Structure 1
Amino acid sequence: MIKKFGTAQWSGGLQDGTGTISSQSGALDALQYGFNKRFQDEPGTNPEELIGAAHAACFAMALSNIMGEDDIVPDKIDAKSTIHLDMSDGPKIVKAHIEVTIKADADESRIMDAAGKAKEGCPVSQLLDCEITMDAKVA
C-alpha cells in the first residue's frame, strides 16, 4: 500500500484566520490559504483548487495508462478539472468538470473511449462524491 500525506495548520476564526498547507514531497511548503482566498477573489490557494489540480493530474495519468494498454502512446494530454462548490445549503462540492485535449497518433474513437474510462476510473474520480462531467477533444 502506498501512503502519501499533506498537512494543514490553521490559526484564528473562519473569516479572519489564516492557514498554511504543505505536502510530503515539499512541492507545497507552508503555502498560505484562508477564507478570502477560498470564498472571494484574493490571490492564493484553496482546497477546491488543489482538488482540481489533483483530479486533473490523476486523470491524465490514468488516461495515459489506459491508452498504453491499447498500444497508444499519447504525445500530450492537457487536462483541467474545475471543482464546483455549491454554497446554497452550506459549502458542498457538487461537480467536477474535466476538460481534456489529447494529442496521439491513433483513431479518435479509441482515444475517446480511453478518456471515458479514465474519467470513471481514475482514483481521484472514484474518491469524489459528486457528478463528474467531461469535455474531451482530440488535437
Structure 2
Amino acid sequence: MTATVLIGGFACADPAAADPSVQPVAASVYTVSVGRVGAALSALAGLLGAVGGGLALARPDRQGHLGTWARRNGAVTALTAGLVALAVGGTVAATADGGLGTGNGLGGAYFAMLLGLIAVTLGWLARSRSRQTL
C-alpha cells in the first residue's frame, strides 16, 4: 500500500517544477521589492530596540536627554521594537518566494529576526533589573 502511494506520488509530480524556465530568477541588486523594504524596515526597528535595550541596561550616569530617556523608556522601547521586528521579519520570511539571493528579502528578514531577538532579550534584562532595584 505504501509503495503504491509513493510510486503514484512520483508519477503525478508536476514536471513543470523541474523546468528551469519556471524557477524564479534572482532580482537585480538595484531592484526594490516589497520583501526587501519590509525586511529593511523591520531590521531598523530591531536595531532601534537593541540600542534602546543596551542603553537601558547600561544605565548611563550622565544627566543628558539620552540618559534620561534610556532610564525611562529604553526597556519598553526594546521590547516593543523587538517584537515588531520579530513579527514583520517572520512574515517576510514566511511569504518570500525562493531562497536567499532571489531578491525577496529573505536574508534581511532573518537578520531582522536576529536583531529583534537581541532587542527583546536586552529589554527583558533591563526590565527585570529595574524591577529588582525598586
TM norm structure 1 = 0.30
Per residue, is there more strand in 1 or in 2?
1
The structure showing larger relative contact order (alpha-carbon pairs under 8 Å, at least 6 residues apart) is 2
TM norm structure 2 = 0.31
Per residue, is there more helix in 1 or in 2?
2
Give 1 or 2 for the bigger CA radius of gyration: 2
